[in-house]
Amino acid sequence: MSDAPTLTPEKRAEEEQLRAVWANPSGWRYWTSVNNSQVGLWYGSTAFAFMLFAGLLALLVRAQLAVPENDLISAELYNQAYTLHGTVMMFLFAVPIFEAVAIFLLPPMLGARDMPFPRLGAFGFWSFLIGGVFVCGSIFFGAAPNSGWFMYPPLATSEQAGIGADIWLLGLSFIEVASLAAAVELIVGIMKCRAPGMRVNLMPLFAWYLLIVAGMIVFAFPPLIAGDLLFEMQRMFDWPFFDPERGGDPLLWQHLFWIFGHPEVYIIFLPAIALLAMIIPTFSGRPIIGYSWIVLAAVGTGFLSFGLWVHHMFATGLPQISLAFFSAASEAVAIPTAVQIFVFIATMLAGRVIFSTPMLFAMGGIAIFVMGGLTGVMVALAPFDWQAHDTYFIVAHLHYVLIGGMLFPVFAGLYYYYPLIDGRHMSDKVGRFAFWMMFCGFNITFFPMHLAGLRGMPRRVYTYPADIGWDWFNLISTMGAVVLGIGMFAVVVDVTLHRRRQPKGEVNPWKAGTLEWISEPEENWGVRSIPHIESRYPLWDHASLAREVKAGEWYLADASEGRRETLVTSVLDAEPEQVLRVSGTSYMTIVSAVTLGTVFVALTFKWWIVSLLSGLAFIAAVLYWLWTGTGEIPEKDEKDIGRGIRLPLYSSGVKSAGWWAMFITMTGDGTACASLVFGYFFFWTIHEDFTGGLTGPGVLWPMMALALFVLAWAATVVAREVNRRGGKTAARMLLGLGGVLSAAGCAAALAGPWTTGMYPTAHVYPAIVWILVIWAAVHGALGIIMQLYCLARSYAGRLTPRYDMELHNVVLYWHFMLVTALITFSVVGLFPEAI
Partner 1 sequence: MRESSARRATVLAVSSLSLASCSGVQSALDPAGEEAVQVAALFWVMTIGGLLIWSLVVVLSLYASRWKGRPTSETSAGKLIFWGGVVFPVAVLTALLSYALWLMPSLRPFAGGEQASLRVEVVGHQFWWRVVYHLPDRTAVVSANEIRLPVGQRVEFELTSADMIHSFWIPVLGGKMDLIPGRTNRVSLSATKVGTYRGQCAEFCGTSHARMAFPAVVMKQADFDAWLDSRSRVSVGLAMNPDGRALFKRAGCGDCHGVDARETTSGKGPDLSHVGSRLTIGAGFLPNEIDALARFIAHPGSVKPGALMPASTDLSADEIDQIATWLKGLQ
Selected from 121, 145, 307, 448, the binder of partner 1 by CB under 8 A is: 448
- Residue 580 pairs in a beta bridge with 566
Q: Is 56 in the site for partner 1 (CB under 8 A)?
A: no
Is the CB of residue 772 less than 8 Å from the CB of residue 820? no
> Which residues 358-377 are close enough to bind partner 1 by CB under 8 A?
359, 363, 366-367, 370-371, 374-375, 377
Q: Is 462 in the site for partner 1 (CB under 8 A)?
A: yes
Is the CB of residue 546 less than 8 Å from the CB of residue 538? no
Selected from 17, 49, 52, 148, the binder of partner 1 by CB under 8 A is: 148
Q: Is 729 in the site for partner 1 (CB under 8 A)?
A: no
Name which of 388 and 772 has its Cβ closer to partner 1. Answer: 388
Closest by Cα among 240, 161, 65, 135 to 758: 240
> Which residues 284-313 are close enough to bind partner 1 by CB under 8 A?
286, 289-290, 293, 297
- The minimum distance between CB 531 and partner 1, in angstroms, equals 27
Name which of 375 and 809 has its Cβ closer to partner 1. Answer: 375
- The minimum distance between CB 313 and partner 1, in angstroms, equals 9
Name which of 291 and 600 has its Cβ closer to partner 1. Answer: 291
| H helix intervals, 725-763 | 728-755
Amino acid in the structure at residue 730: A
- The minimum distance between CB 160 and partner 1, in angstroms, equals 6
Q: How far apart are CA 669 and CA 666, in angstroms?
A: 5
Q: Is 332 in the site for partner 1 (CB under 8 A)?
A: yes
Name which of 86 and 96 has its Cβ closer to partner 1. Answer: 86
> Which residues 234-253 are close enough to bind partner 1 by CB under 8 A?
244-245, 248-251
Selected from 24, 463, 535, 756, the binder of partner 1 by CB under 8 A is: 463
Q: Strand ranges (DSSP E) for 452-557? A: none
Give, as one character, the DSSP assignment of residue 632.
P
Is the CB of residue 681 less than 8 Å from the CB of residue 831? no
- Between CA 793 and CA 799, with CA 797 as vertex, the angle to 5 degrees is 55
> Which residues 780-819 are close enough to bind partner 1 by CB under 8 A?
none
Q: Is 154 in the site for partner 1 (CB under 8 A)?
A: yes
Selected from 433, 447, 489, 607, the binder of partner 1 by CB under 8 A is: 447
Q: Is 355 in the site for partner 1 (CB under 8 A)?
A: yes
Q: Is 10 exposed, middle or buried (0-12, 13-18, 19+ CB in 10 A)?
A: exposed
Cα torsion through 121, 123, 128, 131, rounded to 10: -170
Q: Is 340 in the site for partner 1 (CB under 8 A)?
A: yes
Q: How far apart are CA 831 and CA 835, in angstroms?
A: 7
Contacts of 739 (CB under 8 A, 6+ apart): 712, 784, 787, 788, 791
Q: Count of residues binding partner 1 (CB under 8 A)?
A: 98
Q: Is 331 in the site for partner 1 (CB under 8 A)?
A: yes
Contacts of 413 (CB under 8 A, 6+ apart): 101, 272, 275, 278, 279, 358
Stretch that binds partner 1, among 42-50, 107-115, 453-461, 677-685 (CB under 8 A): 453-461
Stretch that binds partner 1, among 180-188, 467-475, 698-706, 788-796 (CB under 8 A): 467-475
Q: How far apart are CA 77 and CA 85, in angstroms?
A: 12
- Strand 576-581 to 565-569 pairing: antiparallel
Selected from 31, 303, 306, 342, the binder of partner 1 by CB under 8 A is: 342
Q: Is 522 exposed, middle or buried (0-12, 13-18, 19+ CB in 10 A)?
A: exposed
Q: Is 163 exposed, middle or buried (0-12, 13-18, 19+ CB in 10 A)?
A: middle
Amino acid in the structure at residue 683: F
Q: Is 465 in the site for partner 1 (CB under 8 A)?
A: yes
Name which of 243 and 520 has its Cβ closer to partner 1. Answer: 243
Q: Is 147 in the site for partner 1 (CB under 8 A)?
A: yes
- The minimum distance between CB 797 and partner 1, in angstroms, equals 59
Residue 579 three-state SS: strand
Q: Is 464 in the site for partner 1 (CB under 8 A)?
A: yes
Is the CB of residue 667 less than 8 Å from the CB of residue 218? yes
> Which residues 267-286 are close enough to bind partner 1 by CB under 8 A?
286
Name which of 387 and 729 has its Cβ closer to partner 1. Answer: 387
Selected from 2, 27, 28, 467, the binder of partner 1 by CB under 8 A is: 467
Q: Strand ranges (DSSP E) for 301-459? A: none
Q: Is 341 in the site for partner 1 (CB under 8 A)?
A: yes
DSSP calls for 650-703: ---GGGSHHHHHHHHHHHHHHHHHHHHHHHHHHHHHH-SSTTTT-----SHHHH
Name which of 388 and 735 has its Cβ closer to partner 1. Answer: 388
Q: Is 460 in the site for partner 1 (CB under 8 A)?
A: yes
Name which of 381 and 412 has its Cβ closer to partner 1. Answer: 381
Closest by Cα among 562, 514, 506 to 535: 514
Q: Is 382 in the site for partner 1 (CB under 8 A)?
A: yes
Amino acid in the structure at residue 679: G
Is the CB of residue 716 less than 8 Å from the CB of residue 791? no
Question: Could you tell me how far CA 22 lies from the centroid of its own chain?
Answer: 26
Name which of 366 and 559 has its Cβ closer to partner 1. Answer: 366
For residues 706-742, one letter each, b for 16 or more C-beta atoms within 10 angstroms of the residue's C-beta and e for the rest, the string is bbbbbbbbbbbbbbbebbbeebbeebbebbebbbebb
Name which of 341 and 785 has its Cβ closer to partner 1. Answer: 341
Selected from 1, 4, 20, 338, the binder of partner 1 by CB under 8 A is: 338
> Which residues 673-712 are close enough to bind partner 1 by CB under 8 A?
none
Amino acid in the structure at residue 110: L
Name which of 75 and 616 has its Cβ closer to partner 1. Answer: 75
Amino acid in the structure at residue 448: P
Name which of 147 and 598 has its Cβ closer to partner 1. Answer: 147
Selected from 17, 67, 458, 667, the binder of partner 1 by CB under 8 A is: 458
Closest by Cα among 101, 178, 103 to 134: 178
- The minimum distance between CB 215 and partner 1, in angstroms, equals 23
Q: Is 461 in the site for partner 1 (CB under 8 A)?
A: yes
> Which residues 158-187 are close enough to bind partner 1 by CB under 8 A?
158, 160
Q: Is 474 in the site for partner 1 (CB under 8 A)?
A: no
Is the CB of residue 360 less than 8 Å from the CB of residue 432? yes
Amino acid in the structure at residue 525: W
What string marks each residue from 476 to 505 as x (binds partner 1 by CB under 8 A) or -? Answer: x-----------------------------
Name which of 332 and 762 has its Cβ closer to partner 1. Answer: 332
Name which of 400 and 650 has its Cβ closer to partner 1. Answer: 400
- The minimum distance between CB 320 and partner 1, in angstroms, equals 6
Whole-angstrom distance between the N-terminal and C-terminal Cα of the chain? 76
> Which residues 386-405 are close enough to bind partner 1 by CB under 8 A?
386-391
Selected from 114, 232, 385, 577, the binder of partner 1 by CB under 8 A is: 385
Q: Is 142 in the site for partner 1 (CB under 8 A)?
A: no
The total number of residues written for the chain in this structure: 835
> Which residues 78-137 are close enough to bind partner 1 by CB under 8 A?
79
- The minimum distance between CB 693 and partner 1, in angstroms, equals 17
Q: Is 508 in the site for partner 1 (CB under 8 A)?
A: no
Name which of 246 and 808 has its Cβ closer to partner 1. Answer: 246
Q: How far apart are CA 2 and CA 241, in angstroms?
A: 67
Name which of 99 and 385 has its Cβ closer to partner 1. Answer: 385
Is the CB of residue 815 less than 8 Å from the CB of residue 706? no
| H helix intervals, 511-639 | 538-541, 545-550, 588-604, 608-629
Stretch that binds partner 1, among 29-37, 436-444, 637-645, 790-798 (CB under 8 A): 436-444
